[in-house]
Amino acid sequence: MRELLAGAARRLAEAGVESPRVDAELLLAAVLDVPRARLLTLDGVPDDALARFEGLLDQRADRVPLQHLTGRAPFRYLELAVGPGVFVPRPETEQLAGWAVEQLAPLAAPVVVDLGAGSGAIALSLAHEHPGAGVTAVERDPGAIEWTRHNAAVRAEAGDTPVAVLAGDMTDPGLLRELDDSVDLVVSNPPYVPDGARVPREVADHDPPLAVWGGPDGLDVVRGLLLTAARLLRPGGLLGIEHADQQGSALPALVRAHGGFADVEDHPDLAGRPRFTTARRLR
Ligand SMILES: C[S@@+](CC[C@H](N)C(=O)[O-])C[C@H]1O[C@@H](n2cnc3c(N)ncnc32)[C@H](O)[C@@H]1O
């Protein structure tokens, strides 16, 4: 087992995979349907499982995202179904969701909107961690929203408060008009990568373009999102937006320039990199 994993990790490392050993272990654990921690207690791997493992290693070496191969992505307390057509939720977004959970805690039945829901990672986490919240998940990409709907149905079946999934454009001035001035929290992990920026092959070849690219400075969608958020939020309502490492000044500046928000703050991720901006709708 040790040799098998060491060889697999070497192969992934040679292909430029960022965390080769972890990926090798997670792929083998998925094939054998055992927790990763149990791998080294096993005596060997049956031939058919070995063949499947080799096939997955080939694909991972070709930089297919790990989560597309396992079909699952962990996010806070949930495990979401993911695959081609939907953005793979990232660990750094867990902090934005965590901030949102903390803000919602004092409110019994907050109204929440997640703009650009993808797999539903943020929206479904908020509904899971605050059962009183009424959450609407907005997604524009017809391929991605299939995954939002699927994961929302799975979570509702598991007993979480159902999340409303809406096909729509977060920059549309007519979006969710019925919620104008009534939303307690708008949260978004929008597409924010500047056009033409270098991204890993997993992103370039497998994340949907609509989930990644945000125009020349990466902030095209955010400009429209700000107008929508300002319209939806009640006075005192909160906004949280994820951004790229390099946007830790530009995004807060954009929010301040809007003029309708106070308490504009930027927050670092666990690696200390600027990661999301929060603000409060002016009274
Ligand atoms: C970076 S992904 C984030 C997905 C998910 N919230 C997460 O954190 O994993 C951005 C998502 O916004 C969606 N999106 C992009 N532009 C949009 C728009 N104008 N209106 C609504 N959704 C949009 C994309 O399709 C994608 O699912």
Digit-by-digit pLDDT tens for the chain (283 residues) are 889 999 999 999 999 999 999 999 999 999 999 999 999 899 889 999 999 999 999 999 999 999 999 999 999 999 999 999 999 999 999 999 999 999 999 999 999 999 999 999 999 999 999 999 999 999 999 999 999 999 999 999 999 999 999 999 999 999 999 999 999 999 999 999 999 999 999 999 999 999 999 999 999 999 999 999 999 999 999 999 999 999 999 999 999 999 999 999 999 999 999 999 999 999 7
pLDDT for the residue numbered 206 = 95
pLDDT for the residue numbered 40 = 86
pLDDT for the residue numbered 43 = 86
- Centroid of chain to Cα 236: 26
Going from the Cα of 139 to the center of ligand 1, the distance in angstroms, rounded, reads 6
Nearest CA to ligand 1 atom 24: 211
Q: Which pair of structure tokens corresponds to residue 238?
A: 């909160």
Which atom of ligand 1 lies nearest, measured to the CA of 90? Answer: 9
14 to 23, 37, 63, 262: CA distances (angstroms): 13, 24, 11, 49
Residue with tokens 């989560």: 67
**67 pocket-lining for ligand 1 (C-beta < 6 Å):** no
138 to 78, 146, 168, 180, 263: CA distances (angstroms): 19, 12, 6, 15, 25
Which atom of ligand 1 lies nearest, measured to the CA of 225? Answer: 19
pLDDT for the residue numbered 283 = 76
Nearest CA to ligand 1 atom 11: 116
For the entire predicted model, the pTM comes to: 0.95
- Sign (positive or negative) of CA dihedral 275, 69, 210, 126: negative
Going from the Cα of 61 to the center of ligand 1, the distance in angstroms, rounded, reads 27
**141 pocket-lining for ligand 1 (C-beta < 6 Å):** yes
Going from the Cα of 212 to the center of ligand 1, the distance in angstroms, rounded, reads 8
Nearest CA to ligand 1 atom 6: 117
**66 pocket-lining for ligand 1 (C-beta < 6 Å):** no
Q: Which pair of structure tokens corresponds to residue 170?
A: 């977060």
Which atom of ligand 1 lies nearest, measured to the CA of 190? Answer: 10
pLDDT for the residue numbered 16 = 95
Q: How far apart are CA 47 and CA 230, in angstroms?
A: 58
Beta-strand pair 134-139/111-115: parallel
Which atom of ligand 1 lies nearest, measured to the CA of 170? Answer: 20
Q: How far apart are CA 81 and CA 182, in angstroms?
A: 31
